[in-house]
Chain A
């Protein structure tokens, strides 16, 4: 047995690894069942107590309950992150391809567009739908035909056409970056789990939103124009006072309701008990639980005494809960109507558990200024301090207002908000006249670049068109998963049964290694965080059929060798050796087509290519290593290897 020791260890280690990778998927499946049960129960309760609730309100409530359940038990979340990711076609959701509308962008960029320009743009736009040439190039050509120089509409008088064209192309790319940031910002707020937002080529953005139930709303989200606002941040004393009142109002009403178990809000307060409590505000004698009961608001919106501002730190999971709190009538009563709470767009740090933490600001509802007045923004490095800065320019109209606003609010903070989220809240240092402002205090140049994009988003919208959209309802996805796995099982039994009858013991071995092959495929998918799609399941089914190919080749060879009168051991050795070249050559060519398929395909097709490739690798390992090992061990132990 010694000679096999290394191989046995290797095989068991790999099997163990695959099982280890798959374990979270199993646990998550069990957890989901539990969560679903609780949600269904809650849904019935809510419907009983409030039959008139609209569907979107109900969805929101249930989402909060689900979030609380997930955050209450960190294990749920951990397993969820490690499970096999299902593609949109299996779990439902939508995929949207957006393209920046170049024609609209050019129309916005052009100075004094006359009818000649508009005509040229219109025909350029039409031509672009049929050709691969970009609108910018076509427009340049059209205007040239008419003898009009581009500098009449874009850039400066002295610039050559070519130069302007390359500048305009850069503007188009900028617009994609801007649209990307706007969309990312909104999707973050919308609370979609595991969204994918990626740039494709120079003008396109692909957005994938799994599990979206309200796709109309999502589409709206992607296409609306972005709103950039400058709003005054309330002073710390004022803000803290408001929060204290909210806390008191909540403590009072929550303790009242906690005896009544039928309302949805009770779920929230019950769940909030389990969340961690900030230690800074809690007087020492209070236990965490008591603190949570007495200060429900400060439990989720944490403020430390040391800080000079009254910006509260909020964990990502708690944002929904705070919004629910803030919408309660008794809380609404204590918040002055001219202010509201808003959140930072990006996390400002992480807490001890590695959860993202956001800042919550209290700002005026009425914006001081909206983004239309901004003409330009540039991220730079300040040559004097070598720290990142953003230079912002406003038009004359905006500059006048800006001078008044900054003059009246020196020492206060102004929040720069895009679509309701705060990207930066700089302190006004001095009265700014002339419309040129400098914003500093960014941690790095990337942050400054982000602010530049945000500021430009207000000035120059990035018009996007949806050029492709696909959505799959959750029920079709579920059906697909079920029928997919049904076919996997049936396919496996058919093939396994056949192999056992035809090759007897050797066939039994290969049926067994087939299970390990499937385990490997799934384990690799989970381990590399790859996505399983419906064509991916088809890939697994196909692998089952083709995986036995290597076994068949080997067994047929062994039979031939046995027929020449060799011993079993010698036949196995030369059978494997002779089948080797055929197995490798044929599988490498199939692997190549898998790579090409992966390169050319999108979404589901890539999933198929991936499982096909992993399947090839896994089945080769199973046939050449595991089957071989089992046969060798059997021969060494004197167990008869029958091969039909």
Chain B
């Protein structure tokens, strides 16, 4: 079987159409990025995120209503995976001061449930913890256990024998869980995932991600400049910029549009972008390798013909490899589960755009340069 037998096509004739297409995608992406922006995941934004798996399917609007009035301000509630999974996210790191009394109230309620009216003293209270003192060591231990069972992070202040103090730490996630388990009592849940990322870490990760992609491009520029001609390296890296920016634009355009597809930019998506860079450069190099070879063999042929012939000769390989990789990524997109969906999506579109760009952007740029420079490229 053979798809492209003796295939020849004058790709460079159509490059103007490709420029228009790329420019359009570009502009649409940039406008969308300016207007809609991006949805960053918790990795970059910082905040608290929990994913709960209920025993039975749960009405997302009920969960949303329950979570909204516990005083955490803007809380995002989404389905995760199937109908019984819920993701709850807030940008808060610690319990806001104005609802802290509510937290204290519910701690007191638990204490009274265990030992009604036991004498207690609050000895310390910080932004995310509160410290109690009780009359005896044993009472303290019993209360610590009771609160722990209720979902609070309670613990002894010291391991000394006469310790009578209990510290309760209350994080956002704990507060959400405690409230939900009280409100939705007939449908138990387990915690699938719980993440908290500080704002500083988010900022650092963002910097790292940008740096990583930048470094990857520089390294590729140097390597290709070394192996081919510098203009080839420039063409290839421009094509990579093209791929990354258009795929990013797609992220901005499509997040929240397709149900079940969570297009948030998180660490895994950055990994996908770097893989896309790796894959797309792969494609471009194969074409360039052919151009280099053909230029060595046919020293007198015009560059336009050489490029068209080379793209045509490698077309079969380009489509086949692109096709098999797309097949596997498609398997990942459909069967890979919720966590890898955005990753698979990035690669899926990235591979299509990467294949297109290695034909119409990278090679076309090399051609434009050779026209402008007016001298012949030689290997």
Contacts and interface: CB of A to CB of B under 8 A. Distances in A.
B331 A227 contact: no
A549 B196 contact: no
Contacts of A601: 212, 267, 271
A538 B152 CA distance: 37
Interface string B190-229: 1111111111110000001101100110011001100100
B335 A593 contact: no
B78 interface: no
A593 B328 contact: no
13 contacts: A220-B155, A419-B159, A476-B51, A538-B332, A542-B275, A548-B324, A549-B317, A581-B289, A582-B290, A590-B282, A592-B278, A593-B216, A608-B271
A194 B274 CA distance: 30
Interface stretch (A162-170, A321-329, A480-488): A480-488
Interface in B280-306: 281-283, 285-286, 289-290, 293
A593 B274 contact: yes
Interface in B116-156: 145, 148-149, 153, 155-156
Interface in A222-248: 223-225, 227
B347 interface: yes
A556 B310 CA distance: 13
A541 B347 CA distance: 12
A267 to B, nearest CB: 25
Contacts of A608: 271, 275
Interface in B220-270: 220, 223-224, 227, 267-268, 270
A534 B198 contact: no
Interface stretch (A7-15, A253-261, A462-470): A462-470
Interface in A89-106: 89, 97
Interface residues of B, number: 81
Contacts, number: 233
* B interface SS class: helix
Contacts of B279: 546, 590
A592 B216 contact: yes
A475 B148 CA distance: 22
Contact of A476 (B193, B278, B336): B193
A238 B191 CA distance: 49
Contact of B331 (A494, A549, A585): A494
B216 A596 contact: yes
A299 B157 CA distance: 36
A605 B148 contact: no
A618 to B, nearest CB: 16
Contact of A586 (B198, B215, B286, B320): B286
B187 interface: no
Given A129-B199, A498-B327, A589-B223, A582 B1 contact: no
A535 B324 CA distance: 19
Contacts of A220: 153, 155, 169
Given A370-B160, A592-B216, A542 B196 contact: no
Contact of B328 (A483, A495, A556): A495
A220 B285 CA distance: 53
B325 A470 contact: no
Given A370-B160, A608-B271, 17 more contacts: A217-B148, A476-B192, A483-B336, A484-B340, A487-B334, A487-B336, A491-B332, A498-B327, A502-B320, A535-B271, A541-B329, A548-B321, A556-B317, A586-B285, A597-B212, A597-B271, A601-B212
Given A545-B327, A582-B285, A586-B282, A216 B267 contact: no
Given A542-B347, A605-B267, A586 B201 contact: no
Chain A: number of interface residues, binned into ranges: 35 or more
B337 interface: yes
A590 to B, nearest CB: 4
Nearest to B277: A593
Given A491-B328, A498-B324, A538-B344, A592 B220 contact: yes
Given A541-B328, A589-B223, A600-B212, A484 B192 contact: no
A21 B292 CA distance: 42
Contacts of A604: 267-268
Given A370-B160, A545-B328, A605 B201 contact: no
A585 B227 contact: yes
Interface string A538-552: 100110111011001
Interface string A569-580: 000000000100
A419 B156 CA distance: 12
Given A216-B148, A473-B190, A541-B328, A224 B155 contact: yes
B375 interface: no
Contacts of B211: 600
Nearest to B287: A582
Interface in A124-182: 129
Nearest to A609: B271
Contacts of A468: 196-198, 201
A604 B158 CA distance: 36
A219 interface: yes
B192 A473 contact: yes
B323 interface: yes
A353 B22 CA distance: 67
A439 B229 CA distance: 69
A408 interface: no
A594 interface: yes
B223 A219 contact: no
Interface string A432-471: 0000000000000000000000000000000000111111
Contacts of A534: 339-340
Contact of B192 (A217, A472, A592): A472
Contact of A592 (B194, B219, B313): B219
Given A467-B198, A468-B201, A589 B224 contact: yes
Nearest to B156: A224
A348 interface: no
B288 to A, nearest CB: 8
B69 interface: no
A177 to B, nearest CB: 22
A487 B160 contact: no
A499 B211 CA distance: 38
A597 B274 contact: yes
A286 interface: no
Contacts of B360: none
A377 interface: no
Closest CB pairs A-B (n = 3):
A545-B325, A491-B328, A545-B328
Contacts of B347: 542
A325 to B, nearest CB: 22
A356 interface: no
B331 A535 contact: no
Given A549-B282, A549-B321, A599-B212, A467 B201 contact: yes
Given A97-B201, A553-B317, A589-B223, A545 B344 contact: no
Contact of A542 (B2, B201, B328): B328
B56 to A, nearest CB: 16
Given A498-B324, A541-B331, A471 B268 contact: no
B193 A473 contact: yes
A490 interface: yes
Nearest to B159: A227
A32 B266 CA distance: 34
A501 interface: yes
Nearest to A490: B331
A590 B286 CA distance: 12
B326 interface: yes
Nearest to A605: B271
Interface string A339-373: 00000000000000000000000000111001000
A471 B271 contact: no
Contact of A494 (B208, B277, B327): B327
Contacts of B156: 224
Interface string B1-45: 110000000000000000000000000000000000000000000
